[in-house]
C-alpha cells in the first residue's frame, strides 16, 4: 500500500472517467411476466440488504453490481458466483446506467450521491429504488422529483415505514379524528454515537477505493480522520460535505412518519433549531445533540437527537414517554442458550411489553391520547394516562415488503402503486435539511439566553429543559461549551427558499463538481 501524495491526489481530481458523456438510451418496458433485471449501486453496508431482499422476490434477477471499492466489489461478485449466479461488475455507476440489459437499479451510496443517481437513472430510462434521505440538500431533491415526472420513471425512496400496514391504519384512524386533533408530532433519535476521533491531518486513501468516484458530486477533499471504519467509510455521516447527521440518517424515518400523520404536503413555513456537537471534540461536524422545531399551522413537528448516553459512564440511552412512568420490576436476564421471554418485542428502541418507552420512535400527541410508533412496522394507541386502549391493542401492526412494493410499481408503471414515491422522500428529507440549515446559520448562545428565547413556546421550552438535564448527566457544562440556537427562520414552501435569509439560502443547493453535477434542467 502506497501513500497518496498531494500532487498525486490533485492529479486524480482532474481525471474524468470514461463514460462521462452519458449517452443515455431508454431501457425496455418490462411486462407483467418479464424478469425484472436489477443493478445494485453501492453495497458496502445497507446495499447488502437490498441484495438479500431483491433475491427473494419472484421474477427479479440481480444482473449487475457497482462499487467504487474494488475489494467490496470483488467479494460481492464472488458471493454470486458461489451460488452459480453471474453478475456484471462495474466501478463507475455511469457505465452501469448505460447497460441496456438493466431495467432498474437500487442504490445505497452515501447521501451526497442519492439525488444525482436518481436523476441519471431517470434520464437513462431506468426505475430506481434510492435509499433515504432522498437528497443531500433541498434543491436537488426537487430536481429528482422533476426527473421522475419528466421521464415517467418509478422512483421509490427507502422509507420502509410507508409500507407498514400497521402505521398506515393508525394514520387513517388519527386523521378521522380517532383521538381528536393532533397537538404535537414528536420524533426521537436517542442513538449512541461515540467520537469518531480528532482531525489528524491528510490521510492515505485505502487501496482499492476510487476516491474520485466516491467523492462524486462533492468537492474533492482528502480525508482527515481515521476512525473505527477507516478514513473514508461510514463516518462521512457526520461530515456536512457528504452526510446530514443523525437528523438525516436515522431521523428522516421518524420525521417522515410525523409528517405522514400530520398530512402535510409541503416543507415547513418556519423552523428553529438548537444543538451542538457536545461531550467530546472530534472530526465530526454535525450535531450529536439537537432539537428541531418545524412550525406547521396545523400542529408542530419536533425532533430530538441525542448521541450521548443517558449519563456518563453508561451505554444506556434515554427513553421518552409523554406521561409519568413507573419502571416494572427487573427480570432476570435469560442465559444465552435460552430464548428471550415471549413478551419481548423485537423493535428499535428496546421496547418491551413491560416498558412502552422508546429511544427511537415517534409520539403523536392528540387531544384524547397519543399514538406511539416504536419501530418501522408498529403503532400502539394510548389514552392520556398512558394506558393502552384495549380495543386497539394489537390492531396496528404488520408491514409489507418495501422492495416488493417497488417491483410491483415497476411492473404496473403506476406511480400511485408506490408506498414511498420520490415526492414524499423529497419532502421528508427536505424537513431534515431545513433543521440542519437553521443549525448551521445559528449562533452559540448561553443556556439562559436560549431559555429566554424559547420560553414563549411551551413545546420547545420543555424539550430544551430535558436536553439540559441530559447534558448535565453527561458532565457537559453549557457555560463552558455553549449550544447553538437559530432564530425562527421563515420559509416559502412554494419556492422552497428561505425568506430574506441569504446565509440560509446559500445552503439550499450544494456546490457540485464536474462532471458529477445535478443539472439545472433535468
Q: What is the tens place of the pLDDT at every residue in 134-147?
A: 999 999 999 999 99
Q: Is the pLDDT of residue 338 over 60?
A: no
Write down the CATH superfamily of domain 18-162+402-421.
Answer: NAD(P)-binding Rossmann-like Domain (3.40.50.720)
Q: Is the pLDDT of residue 255 over 60?
A: yes
| Mean pLDDT value across the chain | 91
Question: CA–CA separation, 448 vs 203, rounded Å?
Answer: 41
Mean pLDDT for 77-89 is: 96
Q: Is the pLDDT of residue 178 over 60?
A: yes
Q: What is the tens place of the pLDDT at every residue in 197-236?
A: 999 999 999 999 999 999 999 999 999 988 888 999 999 9
Overall pTM surpassing 0.85 (yes/no)? yes
pLDDT band at 336 (very low <50, low <70, confident <90, very high): low
pLDDT, position 333: 61
How many Å from the N-terminal Cα to the C-terminal Cα in the chain?
41
Q: Report the candidate in 88, 41, 46 with the shortest Cα–Cα distance to residue 69.
A: 41
pLDDT, position 332: 63
Mean pLDDT lowest among 44-58, 235-249, 342-356, 462-476: 342-356
pLDDT, position 235: 95
Q: Is the pLDDT of residue 93 over 80?
A: yes
pLDDT, position 31: 59
Every domain of the chain and the residues it spans: 18-162+402-421, 165-191+250-263+298-392
Mean pLDDT for 445-460 is: 98
pLDDT, position 29: 57
pLDDT band at 237 (very low <50, low <70, confident <90, very high): very high
3-class state of residue 67 by DSSP: coil
Tell me the DSSP string of 207-248.
TTB-HHHHHTTS--------BTTBTTSSGGGGSTTT--HHHH
Q: How many helices (H) and strands (E) does the chain have?
A: 15, 17
Mean pLDDT lowest among 206-210, 246-250, 388-392, 401-405: 388-392
User: Is residue 415 a contact partner of residue 447, using CB atoms and an 8 Å limit?
Assistant: no
Residue 203's Cα: distance from chain center in Å?
27
pLDDT, position 444: 98
Beta bridge partners of 270: 490
3-class state of residue 328 by DSSP: coil
pLDDT band at 123 (very low <50, low <70, confident <90, very high): very high
Can you read off the three cell numbers belonging to residue 112?
Answer: 451526497
Q: Is the pLDDT of residue 22 over 60?
A: no
User: Is residue 445 a contact partner of residue 453, using CB atoms and an 8 Å limit?
Assistant: yes
Mean pLDDT lowest among 49-63, 324-338, 432-446: 324-338
pLDDT, position 44: 87
The values of phi and psi at residue 513, to 5°, are -115, 120
Beta bridge partners of 98: none
Residue 192's Cα: distance from chain center in Å?
16
Amino acid at each position: 500500500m502506497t501513500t497518496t501524495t498531494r500532487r498525486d491526489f490533485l492529479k486524480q481530481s482532474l481525471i474524468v472517467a470514461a463514460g462521462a458523456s452519458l449517452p443515455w438510451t431508454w431501457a425496455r418496458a418490462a411486462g407483467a411476466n418479464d424478469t425484472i433485471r436489477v443493478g445494485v449501486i453501492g453495497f458496502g453496508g445497507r446495499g447488502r440488504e437490498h441484495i438479500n431482499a431483491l433475491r427473494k422476490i419472484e421474477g427479479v434477477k440481480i444482473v449487475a453490481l457497482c462499487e467504487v471499492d474494488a475489494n467490496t466489489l470483488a467479494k460481492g461478485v464472488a458471493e454470486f458466483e458461489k451460488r452459480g449466479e453471474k453478475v456484471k461488475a462495474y466501478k463507475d455507476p455511469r457505465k452501469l446506467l448505460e447497460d441496456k440489459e438493466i431495467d432498474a437499479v437500487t442504490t445505497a451510496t452515501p447521501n451526497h450521491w442519492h439525488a444525482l443517481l436518481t436523476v441519471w437513472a431517470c434520464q437513462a430510462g431506468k426505475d430506481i429504488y434510492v435509499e433515504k434521505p432522498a437528497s443531500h440538500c433541498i434543491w436537488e431533491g426537487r430536481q429528482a422529483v422533476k426527473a421522475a415526472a419528466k421521464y415517467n420513471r418509478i422512483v421509490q425512496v427507502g422509507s420502509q415505514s410507508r409500507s407498514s400496514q400497521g402505521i398506515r391504519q393508525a394514520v387513517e384512524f388519527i386523521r378521522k379524528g380517532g383521538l381528536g386533533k393532533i397537538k404535537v408530532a414528536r420524533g426521537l433519535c436517542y442513538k449512541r454515537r461515540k467520537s469518531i476521533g480528532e482531525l489528524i491531518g491528510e490521510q492515505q486513501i485505502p487501496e482499492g477505493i476510487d476516491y474520485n468516484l466516491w467523492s462524486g458530486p462533492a468537492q474533492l477533499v482528502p480525508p482527515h480522520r481515521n476512525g473505527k471504519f477507516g478514513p473514508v467509510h461510514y463516518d462521512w455521516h457526520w461530515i456536512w460535505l457528504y452526510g446530514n447527521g443523525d437528523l438525516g440518517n436515522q431521523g428522516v424515518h421518524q420525521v417522515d412518519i410525523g409528517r405522514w400523520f400530520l398530512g402535510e404536503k409541503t416543507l415547513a413555513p418556519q423552523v428553529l433549531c438548537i444543538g451542538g456537537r457536545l461531550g467530546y471534540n472530534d472530526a465530526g461536524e454535525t450535531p450529536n445533540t439537537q432539537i428541531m422545531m418545524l412550525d406547521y399551522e396545523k400542529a408542530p413537528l419536533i425532533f430530538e437527537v441525542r448521541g450521548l448516553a443517558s449519563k456518563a459512564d453508561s451505554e444506556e440511552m434515554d427513553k421518552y414517554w409523554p406521561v409519568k412512568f413507573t419502571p416494572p420490576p427487573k427480570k432476570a436476564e435469560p442465559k444465552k442458550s435460552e430464548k428471550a421471554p415471549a413478551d419481548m418485542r423485537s423493535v428499535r428502541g428496546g421496547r418491551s411489553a413491560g416498558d412502552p418507552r422508546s429511544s427511537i420512535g415517534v409520539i403523536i400527541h392528540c387531544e384524547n391520547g397519543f399514538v406511539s410508533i416504536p419501530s418501522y412496522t408498529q403503532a400502539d394507541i394510548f389514552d392520556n394516562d398512558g394506558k393502552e386502549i384495549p380495543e386497539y391493542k394489537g390492531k396496528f401492526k404488520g408491514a409489507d415488503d418495501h422492495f416488493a412494493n417497488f417491483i410491483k410499481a415497476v411492473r404496473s408503471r403506476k406511480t400511485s402503486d408506490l408506498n414511498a414515491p420520490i415526492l414524499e422522500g423529497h419532502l421528508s428529507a427536505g424537513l431534515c435539511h431545513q433543521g440542519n440549515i437553521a443549525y448551521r446559520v445559528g449562533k452559540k448562545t448561553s443556556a439562559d439566553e436560549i431559555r429566554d428565547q424559547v420560553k414563549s413556546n411551551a413545546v420547545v421550552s420543555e424539550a430544551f429543559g430535558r436536553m439540559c438535564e441530559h447534558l448535565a448527566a453527561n458532565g457537559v457544562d453549557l457555560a463552558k461549551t455553549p449550544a447553538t440556537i437559530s432564530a425562527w427562520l421563515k420559509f416559502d414552501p412554494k419556492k422552497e427558499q428561505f425568506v430574506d435569509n441569504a446565509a440560509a439560502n446559500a445552503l439550499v443547493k450544494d456546490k457540485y463538481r464536474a462532471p458529477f453535477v445535478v443539472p439545472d434542467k433535468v
